[in-house]
Amino acid sequence: MNYKIFGKKSGLRVSELVLGTGNFGTRWGHGATPEESKKVFDAYVAAGGNFIDTADGYQVGESEELLAGFIADKRDDLVLASKFSMGGSTLLTTGNSRKTMIRAVEASLKRLKTDRLDLYWAHLDDQHTPLEELVRGFDDLVRDGKILYAGLSNYPAWKIANASLLADLRGWSPIVGIQIEYNLIERTPDRELLPMAQSLGLGVAFWSPLAGGTLTGKYRTPSADKDNRQVAWGGLLVKGESSNRETLILDTLADIASTHQAKMLHVALAWLRQRHQPKELSTVTILGPRNVAQLQDNLDSLQVTLSDEEISRLNEVSAISLGSPHEIIKESQKLIYGDGFGRVLS
């Protein structure tokens, strides 16, 4: 396991693989029992992992409740992150208002039986709360000692850039990172979110690195085992193989995996790890295992190193159109400057 500083706005030392705990508990009708969750947690820590991702809403609070028991004797050696926005079920217990934020952080601390969260994410843009209220709210929580760092999950790039600038100019605690859906199938963050994070020095945490299981290849062959997310959640949080592009991605993964005598998921996770080198952007991958065998399989991806040619192949088959204005900028640069443009600027 390697360690990184999470972006340029924090000194947080985090492992490159994060333990996602959306599967800790069974209140959503699909997940891991307390006993299995404990095995997953212990195996992750034994492998050198130190970054735990939960949320107030995961398995209706069960994820945080289970973690309370697991983290108690190693609290100082873990980076504990939780989220708010979707933990409640009523008008005033959801969203990102200051009222929801304060209630939610106090409830998370109680469930987790700890005094502070190391990193607190707004889970999702509620599209109403003014950014000033949110960022100043985070700053108050930092000053109160209830959280140490703040970040934004599932926010559009222009709002993150505004929030980050607001925090910097007003001397409030910075927005240190973003949490986004990113994997070989979902590459739209290449348009705005990733260049923004690089430019602003934000740490990046990728969620759904296996597209909810699709990149393991397990949905390509019919199986009698119906205990999977696709069936249990009716396709929620699973990006299926529904186009030629996705079929090509999965075929390429299978081909590269066979040359490494590895599994498709190892190659999918190795691509995420190698694609954004630390010098360019500080990225970590949030794993989502449902049992200890899946965790071990995910961790084994660290043994696979892809060649530059393999990374280029995967980049190409999964590439998306960057759209406007990126395409017209690229075309115009070629037209005006030819190949000399890169040389002039580098």
Ligand X SMILES: NC(=O)c1ccc[n+]([C@@H]2O[C@H](COP(=O)([O-])OP(=O)(O)OC[C@H]3O[C@@H](n4cnc5c(N)ncnc54)[C@H](OP(=O)(O)O)[C@@H]3O)[C@@H](O)[C@H]2O)c1
Which residues contribute to the site for ligand X (CB under 6 A)? Answer: 20-23, 53, 123, 153-154, 179, 207-213, 216, 218, 228-229, 237, 265, 286-290, 294, 297-298
Place of tokens 């993150």: 160
Q: How far is the CB of 295 from ligand X (least distance, A)?
A: 8
Query: Cβ closer to ligand X: 81 or 256?
Result: 81
Query: Which residue number places its CB atom closest to ligand X?
Result: 288
Nearer to ligand X, 271 or 340 (CB): 271
Q: How far is the CB of 66 from ligand X (least distance, A)?
A: 13
Closest CA to 239 of 306, 311, 288, 302: 288
CB of 309 to ligand X, least distance (A): 26
Show the CA angle centred on residue 246, arms to residues 242 and 251, nearest 5°: 125
Looking at the Cβ atoms of 85 and 346, the one nearer to ligand X is 85
**20/203 with CB nearer ligand X:** 20
Nearer to ligand X (CB atom), residue 245 or residue 326: 245
Give the long-range contacts of residues 29-38, CB within 8 A, separation 24 or more.
29/232, 29/233, 30/227, 30/229, 30/232, 30/233, 30/290, 31/59, 31/62, 31/290, 32/290, 32/291, 34/66, 36/290, 36/291, 36/292, 37/66, 37/70, 38/66, 38/69, 38/70
Q: Considering the complex, state which of residue 231 and residue 328 has its C-beta at the smaller distance from ligand X.
A: 231
Q: Are 141 and 109 in contact (CB under 8 A)?
A: no
Q: How far is the CB of 287 from ligand X (least distance, A)?
A: 6
Query: What sign for the dihedral angle of Cα 123, 28, 297, 119?
Result: positive
Give 293's Cβ-side CA count (13 Å radius).
0
Q: How far is the CB of 220 from ligand X (least distance, A)?
A: 12
Report in angstroms how near the CB of residue 235 gets to ligand X at its nearest: 11
Nearer to ligand X by C-beta: 150 or 328? 150
Least CB distance to ligand X at residue 122 (A): 10
Nearer to ligand X, 254 or 322 (CB): 254
Of residues 196, 186, 221, 192, the one with CA closest to residue 320 = 186
Runs of H (alpha helix) within the chain: 34-46, 62-71, 98-112, 131-144, 157-170, 193-200, 229-232, 244-260, 264-275, 292-299, 308-318, 326-337, 340-345
Nearest approach in angstroms of CB 249 to ligand X is 14
